[in-house]
Amino acid sequence: MPASFYVSILSPVGTTEISGDKTQTPPIPANTSGRVANKGMEGLAITPDGRTLVGIMQNSLIQDGGSKGSLLRIVTIDIHSGKVTHQYGYLLTVGSGVSEIVALNEHEFLVDERDGTGRESGGVPLGASTNAKFKQLFTIDLKNAIDISGLDDGSLTLATVLGDPTYHTVQKKLFLDIVHGLNSIGIPLDHIPSKVEGVSFGPDVKVKSETLHTLWIGNDSDFIQEVLDAAGNVILNPNQFFVFGFTDSSVELGGSKFVP
């Protein structure tokens, strides 16, 4: 990986990496660049031809704004040589981060962007769930995307990239609103998991006379078996798979081609 993705000060305590620790002798300074603690490369995909590994960061790098930033980096790696070939910028819509990327074909991908609302899974002490708001899959295309590796050597500035995101970041279009889809079949908003983090294509299925490709979406429950709903009632907190179907002519694909 590029050196800009690494932190120079490692600690088993995330807050020490982020803020430093003045109580130590000598004091431990905070990191000024690299991945945010516990928010590194969250999504990985391999193109159908098996040649390219594509990774996406969960949050902005520290030098790109950290947890409050909106610009995430995508990295492409040539699998044969192991060398990084490109970096691209992904601009968050209203989600707080990205959890997954999966390949539609050699240059188009689905990206799982989400916020932290929904069925609580990480509260210690146990917090009440909230109504899920933003869990969406976007289609992005790297074919003609602009490389932003210049952010590493200073030939490209963050202000320039964010000042013209239409040019410097990958273009995205909505593929699936997960919250709307699950709520429309009767799942209460506060029962929709907050951490929708895994996406994969599954086997095709036959529904009546129509063949559907399947998209499997999973959540991270943090191994917490019971949580509270928005009203304070105890509810189960399982790991779940939500399966959606689509066809080659689905309007959501918008002309994109799905390659199994």
Reported as a single tens digit per residue, the pLDDT across 196-239 is 999 999 999 999 999 999 999 999 999 999 999 999 999 999 99
Res 254: pLDDT: 84
Q: Which residue has the tokens 């981060």?
A: 97
Residue 154, phi-psi category: left (phi > 0), alpha (psi -120 to 50), beta (remainder): left
Res 122: pLDDT: 75
For 47-125, strand residue ranges (E) read: 52-57, 71-78, 84-91, 97-103, 108-114
246 has a pLDDT exceeding 80:
yes
258 has a pLDDT exceeding 70:
yes
Q: What span, in angstroms and rounded, lies between the C-alpha atoms of 246 and 207?
A: 11
DSSP state of 256: -
Q: What span, in angstroms and rounded, lies between the C-alpha atoms of 52 and 99?
A: 19
In this prediction the pTM is 0.94
Reported as a single tens digit per residue, the pLDDT across 23-75 is 989 999 999 999 999 999 999 999 999 999 999 999 999 999 999 999 999 99
Q: Are 221 and 206 in contact (CB under 8 A)?
A: no
Res 252: pLDDT: 85
- Mean pLDDT for the stretch of residues 143-149: 96
φ, ψ (nearest 5 deg) of residue 3: -60, -25
What the block records as the tokens of 22 is 């003045």
Residues above pLDDT 70, as percent of the chain: 99
For 104-141, strand residue ranges (E) read: 108-114, 135-141
- Mean pLDDT for the stretch of residues 141-162: 96
Q: Are 230 and 119 in contact (CB under 8 A)?
A: no
Q: What span, in angstroms and rounded, lies between the C-alpha atoms of 95 and 144?
A: 25
124 has a pLDDT exceeding 70:
no
Helix count and strand count (H, E) for the chain: 5, 13
- Mean pLDDT for the stretch of residues 236-248: 95
Instruction: Measure CA 246 to chain center.
Output: 21
- Mean pLDDT for the stretch of residues 74-102: 97
Res 255: pLDDT: 85
Res 126: pLDDT: 72
